[in-house]
A and B are shown apart, each in its own frame.
Chain A
Amino acid sequence: MTQTSPAPSGAAITDFGIDTTAMSTTEAIRDYVARLRGGQLGSLPAALGLVALFVLFSSLSDVFFSLNNVANLLAQGAGQTMIAMGIVFVLLVGEIDLSAGTASGAAGAVLAMHYAENGNLLGGMGTTVFIVFNGVLVLAAVLAATLRIWPGVAMSLVALAISLSGMAANPWLEMLLALSVGTAIGCITGFLVARIGMPSFVVTLALFLTWQGVILQFIGEGGVIGISTSDVLNKVANGNLSTLGSWALFVVAAGGFAAVSLGEHFRRLKRGLVTQPTPLVLFKVGIVAVLGAVATALLTVNRSPNESIEISGVPYVVPIVLGLLVIGTYVLNRTRYGRHIYAVGGNKEAARRAGIDVTKVKASAFVVCSSMAALGAIVYSSKVGSVDPQAGGLNTLLFAVGAAVIGGASLFGGRGKVIDAVIGGTVLATIANGLGLLQQPAAVVAIVTGLVLLLAATVDALSRRRAATAAR
């Protein structure tokens, strides 16, 4: 039943008994089914659920599957998906970040204020608040330094520099400011959880309230700061690539995926390492290429409901989310840091004994989370066109955590991928969008979303129990 590899270094490896490196496709599929039965479901339930939702809503509503709505859905879900991608890192180390939503809102508020006040944060905040704000940035840099998270130090200082220099408004500068404020926030959270050792639930609950207050302080009660007058800030979530750009994106994304998967596969095959069956790899690459091509072709068609203006092209949020997905996946799968994240979530004590700096890894997960949350804030603020005191509040965080969990990231730590957040985020966006089109009241949307999350958490808990019993 097993094929042993053509062992490169001869006797020693053939001596390694029944080790297998290559499986036939049938065996691989059987193995996959066995793993599913053993409780390792990954993002399969969410992916199936997504297909089911698409079929359901398309049959119930004519508008749902229209190009305009699908493109809109992508932009609607992008912000919370990006926050969820950050949450995945925190879930992986076995913690929770309840403050990611309002932290993103705080970053968004700083962005909006910098834009509205033309870089004069001192004028916008008033002297006392300005001093406290910069003090917190310095504190974040110091805390990051004690944890030896140098990117955190650097970004906190960038935020400080932008804040103190009072440079005039520039959309790119504002986005950098938002990102660096997010990173600084993460340094504080990470320090409190990982170094002080407080439960992340309490720390982030407290910070959730704190950042909400900060947003209110920055924006003012009942206030709204518009940012849609900036062309760049507006286009982040509302702009589209040109037709040429869309196809270029397709070529880079699908071609890159094919090159990496196939290159890796054949390199491993040649060296006699554990590989998936070749047909399966080709199948995956083919599916991605076909789906990508279809989606690109459809999105480059004019989808404007209005005759006089043309809307076509892949929305900017797609390459943004895709880029973050690639970077996040690469970091988790291919780098030492990613390996340590999984190890800390899987068995903290084992990680510590292996010489991994558990404190630093844990803290860094919060830094990644808040930074991603800030990027999410840029996207959702751009989508709405303004930042108000509710930015990042209400359900933003719960939806982001829900997206990660629905996608298959485990609340118990150690299991999950960045793509889980993307799938889960799309599921939630689809539910909200579809039920909205069916003219269901907000009550129904909330109840359905809640039940879906409950279902996902149940699947997580059950599959975990199943995996535990299957182990022995």
Chain B
Amino acid sequence: MSEPLLELHGLNKSFGPVHVLHDVDLKVRAGEVTALVGDNGAGKSTLVKCIAGIHAADSGEVRFQGEQVHIRGPKDAAELGIEVVYQDLALADNLDIVQNMFLGRERGSGWLLDEASMERAARETLASLSVRTVKSVRTPVSSLSGGQRQTVAIAKSVLWDSKVVLLDEPTAALGVAQTRQVLDLVRRLAEQGLGVVLISHNMADVFEVSDRVAVLYLGRMAAEVTTRDVTHGQIVELITAGRSGELGLARPDTATV
């Protein structure tokens, strides 16, 4: 098992009186898909936003490639190579695929963008991910299907020599065939040696692509287990009760806020 790429220790986050994350630990390893599961309000999205620098954690330690780092904003996270693909995609409809993939990080000088280089890089990235569903990289995002948008959003995240990619419910709004495409893409990211964190509600997806499962229960990390060591039922118990037999929180009743 490789060294963790990204390691969280004792992360805490409160919004006013609401204590959303309690001493959360998480390890993300290169070349693995770590599924992050939990019921609504368990703190999954908050955890992702803390890693992405959108929220500042109140306390706790973040280690990236073994070194302690402080992520103060989205730019810090991006510089480390941490990319997030949000549930609501965060693509600008009126721009085309290339423009979206390079948004905020355009190549060329401020006064003259290097469109040629950006277009080439976008095509190469899509090609390296074996994306075959997009007709032209100059297609406006408004005319893409949900799956294609998700594909573009994911491809955008790997364009930046990123090392960790966090995917927030990438298949939530997709049909069967499109879900298939996206899951294949998620697997390919891991094969390319990235650390992937997949947030999902769909147990079938989790068991299909993930190597490890981390379960959040009411803001606490209930368990971090290898996917093939657990059953579907155990994961569901961990999500709903915070414990399942030997696994999970010792005294779940203290977990209530």
Contact = CB atoms under 8 A, between A and B. Distances in A.
Interface in A334-387: 334-337, 339-340, 342-343, 345-347, 349-351, 353-356
From A12, A17, A339, A350, name the one whose CB has the most chain B CB atoms within 10 angstroms: A350
A339 B92 CA distance: 11
A400 to B, nearest CB: 22
A336 B94 contact: no
Interface string B177-220: 00000000000000000000000000000000000000000000
Contacts of A271: 116, 120
A464 to B, nearest CB: 10
Interface residues of A, number: 42
Interface stretch (A18-26, A198-206, A281-289, A388-396): A18-26
A339 B111 contact: no
A273 B135 contact: no
A274 interface: yes
A267 interface: yes
B113 A339 contact: yes
B123 A19 contact: yes
Contacts of A13: 123-124, 127
A16 B136 CA distance: 10
A350 B103 contact: yes
A339 B130 contact: no
A355 B123 contact: no
Nearest to B153: A350
Query: By DSSP majority rule, is chain B's interface helix, strand, loop, or mixed?
Result: loop
Contacts of B92: 342-343, 346-347, 350-351, 414
A164 B232 CA distance: 78
Contacts of B143: 38, 470-471
Interface stretch (B11-19, B35-43, B61-69, B83-91): B83-91
A16 B123 contact: yes
Contacts of A20: 135-136
Nearest to A20: B136
Contacts of B127: 12-13, 15-16
B104 A354 contact: yes
Contacts of B91: 347, 350
Contacts of B90: 347, 349-350, 353-354
A12 B128 contact: yes
B104 A17 contact: no
Contacts of B144: 471
A53 interface: no
B94 A345 contact: yes
Interface in B89-127: 89-95, 99-100, 103-106, 108, 110-113, 115-116, 119-120, 123-124, 126-127
A199 B105 CA distance: 29
Given A268-B116, A336-B106, A349-B90, A17 B95 contact: no
B94 A342 contact: yes
10 contacts: A9-B120, A17-B134, A268-B116, A274-B119, A274-B136, A334-B112, A336-B110, A339-B103, A347-B93, A353-B84
Interface of B: 54, 74-75, 78, 84, 86, 88-95, 99-100, 103-106, 108, 110-113, 115-116, 119-120, 123-124, 126-128, 130-138, 142-146
**6 nearest A-B pairs in the assembled complex, by CB-CB distance:** A17-B132, A354-B104, A346-B92, A16-B127, A346-B94, A414-B94
